[in-house]
Amino acid sequence: MGAPQIHPSAFVDPGAKLGEDVVVGPCALIEGDVVIGARSRIDAFATVKRYTSMGEDNHVHSYALVGGEPQDLKFHGEVTRLVIGDANNIREFSTIHRGTEDGSGETRIGSHNLIMAYVHVAHDCVVKDHIVMSNNATLAGHCFVDDYAIIGGLSAVHQFVRIGSHAFVGGCSGIDQDLPPWMLAVGNRATVRSPNIVGLRRFKASLELLSAFKQAFRVTWYSGQPRPDALMQLEAEYGHFPEIMEFLSFVRESKRGILPAEERKKILD
């Protein structure tokens, strides 16, 4: 373990706190009131703005801007923050903005996330752990993305929308309502197409859990029952699965409402 390695052409404000073995590349900019954890790497021409703190083992690639001011007309220079966890990979030209006073006051990024090139994470978002955001994916303000979700390239998520854990958003999709856990959505105005079967198999889900999610998809979107009755039926039949209970709780607690399904019923194997 050693002192930070800062290229002579980089600008690091004396008020920034850099952990052991941090590497700062040529022409990088790190403003004051910044904390960067041990073994993190800030590549050439990357920018870390004031009021940003990040944990250990993060990699901010060239030309990314981390901790920028919110793109919000109500913002007038208040002290708000961006808080980033550990071992995140933030690729080229990504922009991640800090929170607003009218929101939570901070934007939060968890740990072990892959944020690909040109991704935008707006003010007051919460992005949890092990998430993949593909190239040019965009989160508007106040979005919440839960663990292991995947958001495809060129997709846009409307403000205040929630993306559940292990959910999958296909490329070039517009998400304007909540997407429940373990579901797959795609489309210009996205609809739910099926459970995230690939994600469930990667999770090593049992055949019983796979079957339960296929039935949850059918009953929630296609049974014709009132939504509360459909959820009660699913809880009675599959409530012994924690993953199903997570799905049911998400749907019940949704404030924006969940995404609709396709008009024509899909037949699942």
Of 123, 73, 70, 78, nearest in space to 101 by CA = 78
Q: Which residues of 179-201 are buried (b: 16+ CB within 10 A; e: fewer)?
A: bbbbbbbbbeebbbbbbbbebbe
Alpha-helical segments (H) within 3-51: none
- The DSSP output letter for 48 is E
Strand partners, 215: none
Catalytic (active site) residue 141? yes
Contacts of 14 (CB under 8 A, 6+ apart): 32
- The DSSP output letter for 261 is B
**Catalytic choice (43, 57, 86, 124):** 124
As a whole number of angstroms, the distance between CA 52 and CA 159 comes to 22
Catalytic (active site) residue 13? no
Catalytic (active site) residue 123? yes
* 142 close to 124: Cβ distance less than 8 angstroms: yes
The residue type of 200 is L
**Catalytic choice (37, 99, 141, 199):** 141
Bridge-based pairing state of the strands 191-195 and 183-186: antiparallel
Of 114, 120, 117, nearest in space to 92 by CA = 117
Reported as type and span, the H/E element at residue 227 is: helix 227-238
Which positions are annotated as active-site residues?
A: 123-124, 141
